[in-house]
C-alpha cells in the first residue's frame, strides 16, 4: 500500500471507532481537512474498496446503518495491527495525550497516559524528543467530578448504553432519570452530556414526547448502566459540534461597534462573519450567539462595545446595568 493509502485506512478505522458513521461524503470532508495527498483523486468506488479491504483482509465487523447513513463496527472492541507510528504521528499522539491528561478526569486520563507510554516504549526516539510538549498546559474542569461517575457515563456514551442517574439541578431539586447519553462534551471548563430522557422519577416518557437535555456531570450523584441500548442521533451530535450545547435563546445577525480594546478579544468568544474599521472603531457582525452571552459581553466591556441592532437586547443591557448601579450605590452607603 502507498503511504497515503495507509494513512487513509487508519483514518477510516478511527472514524469507525469513534462512531462517526463514515460514508463517502463525510470521509472526503475529513480527508480534505487533513490535506492527505491524493484526496482529490478519491472516488466513492475507492472508499467502498477500502471498506471491503478491511472486511476481507482483517475481518472487520463493518455494517451499514441506514438510519445514520454510514458504516459502523458491530463489535466496538475490534482492533487491527497497524504499522508503527511515524515521527509526526507519534508527536501528535503525545500531544493529544498531554491535552487529555489535563481535561480528562481519572481513570480515563490514566488509561490514555498508559497507552501513550506503551507507544513511546517501542518508539526509536524515546521520550526525550517530546519533552517540550510537557510545557503544553490545558486547564481541566473547574469542578471536581467523581471518577466513578465519570467512567460509568463515559462507558455508557461509548457503548450506546442507557444510564440510570440521580441528578441534582441548580436549585437543589433531585430527580431520578433514565437517559440516552448521545454526546459527551467538554465545554467552558466543565463536562456535560447531551442526552435524551427516557423516564423521570419512575415514569416512562412516551417516545414521541422525549426531549433532549444537557446534564452537567458534576451534578450526577449516582450513575448505573442499564441493559437497554440506543442508536446515536446524528442531529444531536451535529448540534453539539456546532456548539449548541444548551437550549438558550439564540440571537442572529448581531451588529456591534467596538473600540480597539474590545475588538482584541472578540474573536476568542464569538464567530465573526463580517468586519470593517472606520477611524477608531471596528464594526463587526456575529451570525448567531446565545442572548445571555451577548448581554454579558456588552456589560463586561463597560461601554467599549455598542449594540447596533436588536432593541430588545439593548433594553436588557440597560435594565441590568441600572440594577447593577442601584445595588452598588446601596453598598456604597453601607
Q: What is 147-241's CATH topology?
A: SH3 type barrels. (2.30.30)
Taking the C-alpha atoms of residue 160 and residue 196, their distance in angstroms, rounded to an integer, is 12
Report phi then psi at 52, rounded to 5: -65, -35
- 250-333 is classed CATH 1.10.287: no
Taking the C-alpha atoms of residue 94 and residue 182, their distance in angstroms, rounded to an integer, is 28
User: Strand pairing partners for 204?
Assistant: 199
SS (H, E, C) 202-266: CEECCHHHCCEEEEEHHHEEEEEEEEEECCCCHHHHHHHHCCCCCCCCEEEEEEEEECHHHHCCH
* Residue pair 188/160 in contact by the 8 Å Cβ criterion: no
Would you give the DSSP letter of residue 267? G
Residues 6+ apart with CB under 8 A from 237: 182, 183
R_g of the chain, CA atoms, integer Å: 24
DSSP-derived secondary structure for 117-133: HHHHHTSSS-GGGGGGG
Listed residue (233, 231, 215, 214) closest to 223, CA to CA: 215
Measured CA to CA in angstroms, residue 282 lies from 132, 136, 309, 317 at distances of: 38, 33, 15, 20
* Residue pair 210/198 in contact by the 8 Å Cβ criterion: yes
Taking the C-alpha atoms of residue 199 and residue 213, their distance in angstroms, rounded to an integer, is 13
Predicted local distance difference test score (pLDDT) of residue 98? 66
In terms of Cβ atoms closer than 10 Å to its own Cβ (0-12, 13-18, 19+), residue 202 is exposed
Predicted local distance difference test score (pLDDT) of residue 306? 95
* Residue pair 309/255 in contact by the 8 Å Cβ criterion: yes
Using CA atoms in the order 225, 229, 234, 236, what is the torsion angle rounded to 10 degrees? -40
In order along its 334 residues, the chain shows pLDDT tens digits of: 444 477 788 889 988 988 889 999 999 888 777 655 555 567 888 899 999 989 998 899 999 999 889 999 999 888 876 655 566 666 666 667 766 766 777 777 777 767 666 666 555 554 444 454 555 555 666 678 888 999 999 999 989 999 999 999 877 789 999 999 999 998 888 899 999 999 999 999 999 999 999 999 999 999 999 999 999 998 999 888 877 888 788 899 999 999 999 998 898 888 898 899 999 999 999 998 889 999 999 999 999 999 999 999 999 999 999 999 988 887 666 5
Predicted local distance difference test score (pLDDT) of residue 1? 45
Provide the pairing of β-strand 212-216 with 161-168. unpaired
Ordered by start, the domain boundaries in the chain are 3-73, 87-135, 147-241, 250-333
Amino acid at each position: 500500500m502507498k503511504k497515503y493509502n495507509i494513512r487513509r485506512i487508519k483514518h477510516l478505522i478511527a472514524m469507525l471507532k469513534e462512531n462517526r458513521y463514515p460514508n463517502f461524503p463525510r470521509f472526503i470532508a475529513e480527508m480534505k481537512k487533513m490535506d492527505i495527498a491524493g484526496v482529490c483523486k478519491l472516488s466513492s468506488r475507492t472508499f467502498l474498496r477500502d471498506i471491503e479491504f478491511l472486511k476481507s483482509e482483517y475481518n472487520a465487523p463493518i455494517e451499514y446503518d441506514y438510519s445514520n447513513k454510514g458504516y459502523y463496527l458491530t463489535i466496538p472492541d475490534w482492533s487491527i495491527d497497524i504499522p508503527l507510528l511515524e515521527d509526526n504521528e507519534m508527536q501528535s499522539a503525545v500531544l493529544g495525550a498531554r491535552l487529555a491528561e489535563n481535561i480528562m478526569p481519572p481513570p480515563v486520563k490514566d488509561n490514555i497516559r498508559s497507552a501513550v507510554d506503551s507507544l513511546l516504549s517501542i518508539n526509536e526516539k524515546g521520550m526525550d524528543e517530546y519533552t517540550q510538549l510537557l510545557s503544553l498546559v490545558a486547564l481541566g474542569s473547574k469542578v471536581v467530578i467523581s471518577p466513578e461517575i465519570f467512567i460509568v457515563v463515559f462507558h455508557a456514551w461509548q457503548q450506546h448504553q442507557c444510564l440510570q442517574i440521580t441528578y441534582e439541578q441548580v436549585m437543589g431539586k433531585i430527580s431520578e432519570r433514565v437517559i440516552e447519553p448521545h454526546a459527551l462534551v467538554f465545554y467552558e471548563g466543565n463536562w456535560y452530556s447531551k442526552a435524551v430522557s427516557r423516564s423521570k422519577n419512575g415514569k416512562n416518557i412516551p417516545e414521541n414526547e422525549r426531549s433532549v437535555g444537557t446534564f452537567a456531570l458534576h451534578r450526577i450523584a449516582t450513575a448505573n448502566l442499564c441493559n437497554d441500548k440506543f442508536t446515536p442521533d446524528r442531529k444531536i451530535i451535529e448540534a453539539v459540534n456546532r456548539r449548541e450545547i444548551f437550549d438558550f435563546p439564540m440571537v442572529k445577525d448581531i451588529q456591534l461597534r467596538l473600540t480597539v480594546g474590545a475588538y482584541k478579544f472578540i474573536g476568542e468568544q464569538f464567530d465573526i462573519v463580517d468586519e470593517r474599521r472606520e477611524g477608531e472603531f471596528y464594526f463587526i457582525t456575529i451570525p448567531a450567539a446565545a442572548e445571555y452571552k451577548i448581554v454579558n459581553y456588552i456589560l463586561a466591556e463597560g461601554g467599549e462595545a455598542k449594540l447596533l441592532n436588536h432593541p430588545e437586547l439593548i433594553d436588557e443591557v440597560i435594565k441590568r446595568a441600572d440594577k447593577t448601579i442601584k445595588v452598588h450605590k446601596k453598598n456604597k452607603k453601607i
